A and B are shown apart, each in its own frame.
Chain A
Amino acid sequence: DIQMTQSPSTLSASVGDRVTITCRASQSITTWLAWYQQKPGKAPKSLIYKASTLESGVPSRFSGSGYGTEFTLTISSLQPDDFATYYCQQYDTYSPTFGQGTKVEI
């Protein structure tokens, strides 16, 4: 299986900060990468697919980039509603795998 590694595991930030989360794949997945946001007690919500395409309704302060094995999720100006855990997921193979998550906290 393709291993996905996120960094950092926890990120302390303030409202208005620019935040970047990194996701690395153990082998090339071209752009078959998605990002999700999960709040406590809730199901994950899809933010980005194909590395950089925003899902409908996702605020433009979220952006994704990368190719091959290294990817980033950037929040340009952190809002109170953005404090959550973020996961990356590869879907290059028949066995999709997730990163371990990055918790964005105050």
Chain B
Amino acid sequence: EMRLLESGGDVVQPGGSLRLSCTASGFPLSKSVLAWVRQAPGKGLEWVSTISGVDAAVHYADSVKGRFTISADNSKNTVYLQMDSLRDEDAAIYYCANEGHSSGHCGSFDPWGRGTLVTVSS
């Protein structure tokens, strides 16, 4: 069974940094594409970033480009999201999700992890 487990969420001050982790089990990251999707409190879903475990290709939403960095360690079957220069509007639950079905550009997401909470507050 494919499973994703996020960790690393915490309370951080505006301007601060945080690194999230997503560990996959039941499938090899080297053959998969994983994404981070966030959800601010009481709001909808927003795609953040994607990385391919196959060729290391990465993509970012404009709202995080230049501040967030996604990376993968295939030997640990883990994807990371380094978040720098955090803003109030980055506060959210961050979900890790597998691209289950691809159009060739990106995909639908299945399964999802349970999420990790990032709070940005002074």
Any B CB within 8 A of the CB of A91: yes
Which residues, 65 to 90 on B, are CB-close (under 8 Å) to A? Answer: none
How many angstroms between the C-alpha atoms of A42 and B44 in the bound complex? Answer: 13
Q: Give the A-B pair count, Cβ closer than 8 A.
A: 70
- Would you give the shortest CB distance from B51 to chain A, in whole angstroms? 12
How many angstroms between the C-alpha atoms of A36 and B112 in the bound complex? Answer: 11
From A46, A87, A94, contact of B106 by CB (8 A): A94
Task: Please state if B101 and A50 are interface contacts (CB–CB under 8 Å).
Answer: yes
How many angstroms between the C-alpha atoms of A99 and B35 in the bound complex? Answer: 18
Task: Please state if B47 and A98 are interface contacts (CB–CB under 8 Å).
Answer: yes
Any A CB within 8 A of the CB of B11: no
Any A CB within 8 A of the CB of B122: no
Task: Please state if A87 and B45 are interface contacts (CB–CB under 8 Å).
Answer: yes
- Would you give the shortest CB distance from B52 to chain A, in whole angstroms? 11
The answer to whether A46 and B59 touch (CB under 8 A), given A97-B47, A98-B45, is no
B contact residues vs A (CB 8 Å cutoff):
35, 44-47, 59, 61-62, 95, 100-103, 105-115
User: Which 7 pairs between the two chains have the least Cβ-Cβ distance?
Assistant: A34-B108, A46-B110, A43-B112, A49-B108, A98-B45, A32-B103, A49-B101
Offer 28 A-B interface pairs, CB within 8 angstroms, sorted by A: A32-B103, A34-B101, A34-B108, A43-B95, A43-B115, A44-B95, A44-B112, A46-B108, A46-B109, A49-B100, A53-B101, A89-B45, A89-B108, A91-B102, A91-B106, A91-B107, A92-B103, A92-B105, A94-B105, A94-B106, A95-B47, A96-B106, A97-B47, A98-B44, A98-B45, A98-B46, A98-B47, A101-B44
A contact residues vs B (CB 8 Å cutoff):
1, 32, 34, 36, 42-46, 49-50, 53, 55, 87, 89, 91-101
